[in-house]
Chains A and B, each alone.
Chain A
Amino acid sequence: MINKILDRMEEAFSGLKDGATIMVGGFGGSGIPHDLIDCLVNQDAKDLVIITNNAGSGETGIAALLKARRVRKIICSYPRMADSHHFETLYRSKQIELELVPQGNLAERIRAQGAGLGGFFTQTAYGTLLAQGKETRLINGKHYVFETPLAADFALIRALRADRYGNLVYRKAARNFGPVMATAAKTTIAQVSEIVEIGEIDPETVVTPGIFVKHVALVKGPV
């Protein structure tokens, strides 16, 4: 019997090594897998590369990981948020590397990896600082920039509901990066608020099919 639901969240991180690349879902404060990040903070792995949209704010989530000095590099679109002081301090003192990626490129580079594509050409960022040094091509009279896929060892995402096969349903705009990140990591761990029996999720409404999910961590309480 396949059962992807974890007894202990720590089990999901057993293969974690120094230097690992980890995708973390969420946009602003929505869809952040807080308990999975806390669990990651409690592991010893360091020199991590984090792929996420924002660089955390306050003291929790990504900010806690930064504060614990576990992150060598962050790949994101919008590191500046209200109270993102841990990122700012590390960035200004050059203790963290930043790869700034337009948000659409971030999503599509992750999607490309998940779909087995070697990259794609996009009009986004052509002629700007963020396309410097990148291959360009004229296609049907328009300028495009070549972007490469983004892969990860782990993806930590948040969903509303799962079954033991790892089928996922999300809640409102907290869906954001979850479905694409789930496809692009060797090990995807979903934090969910509810577990239901097999067959209880209408197959027409499954957003992330279980094939993309390795572990499910049930954390009760509000999403």
Chain B
Amino acid sequence: MSQHNLKPITRNEIAQKIALHIDEGSYVNLGIGMPTLVANYLPEDKDIFLHSENGILGMGPAPEKGLEDWDLINAGKQPVTLEPGGAFFHQADSFAMMRGGHLDICVLGAFQVSQSGDLASWHTGEADAIPAVGGAMDLAVGAKKTFVMMEHQTKDGMSKLVEKCTYPLTGVGCVAMVFTDLGIFEITPHGFLVKELFNGMSIETVQAVTHAQLIEGN
């Protein structure tokens, strides 16, 4: 109805917003897909350590063409590089980092986030879908803070911020902050607290396309 009032930002701009929330010294895991864009906006003058679930700390950007090493890939199976001071380790150690609360932040994509912080990101629940979960459930509950990066609405205009998830859950009450193309929302005991709305949009404009109560921030 009020879609034409929306002034969304781009995926790259969402990535930039998230990068501003990552402090120097943080150990960070960026999930497959949209969250990998965040790496492009981390400040080069700060030491921030990227973790990859297959066993890398200090993961660097993609190599130049022709210099790919297929023993050095990221969780999305794309070739990457290792920064000086990086390390390799096996799966049980890698997931001890993820599940043992050692990562400061993980950034995950999502189908839906509920107002109590439930995350749905791994399965649409369709009968013929082939389920695949990878490390999403481990990351969601294991990192000190789980950030979600996603569009505010589906392509069909359905709100991805919801009162209760309708897709199968990845984790219960695990999300701390949601970054969408319309704004930044913190999960509080009372629901979605608005931290920022982009391009001067009013809370009424964003509430109209959100199927959960938004709480006005300061």
Q: B48-81: contact bitstring with A at CB < 8 Å (1 yes, 0 no)? A: 0000111110000000000001111100010000
Task: Check B128 against A92 for contact (C-beta < 8 Å).
Answer: yes
Smallest CB–CB gap between A17 and chain B, Å?
A: 27
**Cβ–Cβ < 8 Å partners of A107 in chain B:** 90-92, 94-95
**Cβ–Cβ < 8 Å partners of A172 in chain B:** 69, 71-72, 82, 88
Those of A116-147 within 8 Å (CB) of chain B = 122-130, 143
Which of B71, B99, B128, B142 has most A Cβ within 10 Å?
B71
Q: A74-86: contact bitstring with B at CB < 8 Å (1 yes, 0 no)? A: 0001111100000
Interface size class of A (residues with CB under 8 A): 35 or more
Distance of A173 Cα from B55 Cα, bound (Å)? 6
**Cβ–Cβ < 8 Å partners of B73 in chain A:** 27-30, 173
**Cβ–Cβ < 8 Å partners of A170 in chain B:** 88
Q: Which of B104-112, B166-174, B188-196 lines the interface with chain A?
A: B166-174
Looking at chain B's contact residues, is the secondary structure mostly helix, strand, loop, or mixed?
loop
Task: Check A129 against B54 for contact (C-beta < 8 Å).
Answer: no
Distance of A79 Cα from B56 Cα, bound (Å)? 22
Task: Check A30 against B71 for contact (C-beta < 8 Å).
Answer: yes
**B138 touches which one: A88, A92, A124 (CB < 8 A)?**
A124
Q: Which of B5-13, B129-137, B144-152, B208-216 lines the interface with chain A?
A: B129-137
If A27-B54, A30-B70, A128-B137 touch, whether A175 touches B132 (CB-CB below 8 Å) is no
Distance of A127 Cα from B95 Cα, bound (Å)? 20
Q: Is B17 an interface residue (CB 8 A)?
A: no
Task: Check A108 against B133 for contact (C-beta < 8 Å).
Answer: no
Q: Is B89 an interface residue (CB 8 A)?
A: yes
Q: A198-223: contact bitstring with B at CB < 8 Å (1 yes, 0 no)? A: 00000000010000000000000001
Which of A103, A129, A130, A178 has most B Cβ within 10 Å?
A103
Q: Is B164 an interface residue (CB 8 A)?
A: no
**Cβ–Cβ < 8 Å partners of B71 in chain A:** 30-31, 171-174, 223
Q: A103-B138, A129-B169, A175-B55 are in contact. List 6 more A-B contacts (CB 8 A).
A: A103-B135, A123-B141, A127-B169, A128-B168, A128-B172, A129-B123
Question: Interface residues, chain B, CB within 8 Å of chain A?
Answer: 52-56, 69-73, 77, 82, 88-92, 94-95, 98-99, 123, 128, 130-138, 141-142, 168-172
